Structure 1
């Protein structure tokens, strides 16, 4: 197997492992992948409009509304009027949703920390640089084409 193919396989395996991890932590809270992604977005970026959430997830605004209805009913998020646009609302995490995401990120960081332990600063910088570049190229223009 060529080095390029080996790296591509390793990245694919990492992406699939991430999907499985997200699925497992979502199931533990009764959430699907879109629900987990929405809570993570709100945790990392702060309040967002339903339209911004729909764009982030690549779904319709109607689907985002249904998702937000479920997340709100479960006590993970709440909607409040958008002070910048009275026709819209902002979605924000409720304390329970914030605790769920924080615990998930703590667990994730602990697991990755086990892999990082004992590595040199140069190794960590090289791997982080590669992963950032791979993330950018996979999410960039033309993603999903071909």
Structure 2
């Protein structure tokens, strides 16, 4: 029975993650795609990042990050600038239009989630915060390899 509860919880967390993705996709400006909006979110939350740091946050290659940054610059949401302490590096930063787009998204998202959060008791709020913090920490760990699974076949 615990196994079924674990699966139900896993599916509920998956549904939550999908709802967030669908929300972001629906809120995405028609000039950029979902990946670009996620990148804006990272820049909004973390401040300026090197292209390599942005690639790591998005779990994409540096070549893909370069193309993504080019697209963000093209629509006026981000720009590259010199790194403050390392002349060899560049930073990607939000423009005022990029900050406005991210602020609009996260203000609405924050208002919607705060409405539900406000209905909870302080004890329930602490439980939600602890749960989310722990789930994030667990999901940041490398997934164990299941020895019963077949390795992926080479498609060459």
Larger Rg: 2
TM-score scaled by length of structure 1: 0.90
C-alpha separation between the residues in 1 aligned to 2:32 and 2:137? 27
1:88 aligns with 2:106: no
Q: Point out where structure 1 has 5 or more consecutive residues left out of the alignment.
A: none
RMSD of aligned alpha carbons: 1.7
Task: State the TM-score, normalized to the length of structure 2.
Answer: 0.84
Task: Write out per-residue CA displacement over residues 35-87 of structure 1, whole angstroms, 9 at most, x where no aligned residue.
Answer: 11211111111111111111111111111111101100100011111132222
The separation in 2 between residues aligned to 1:110 and 1:78, in whole angstroms, is: 29
Partner residue, 1:108? 109
Q: Given that residues 31 and 75 in structure 2 are in contact (C-alpha distance below 8 angstroms), is that contact kept between their aligned partners in structure 1?
A: no
Q: What is residue 17 of structure 1 aligned with on the other side?
A: 19
Residue correspondence of structure 1 range 1-146 to structure 2 within 5 A: 2-26=4-28, 28-142=29-143
* Unpaired stretches in structure 2, ≥5 consecutive residues: 147-156
Runs of 4+ in 1 over 3 A off after TM superposition: none
Separation in 1, partners of 2:14, 2:82: 41
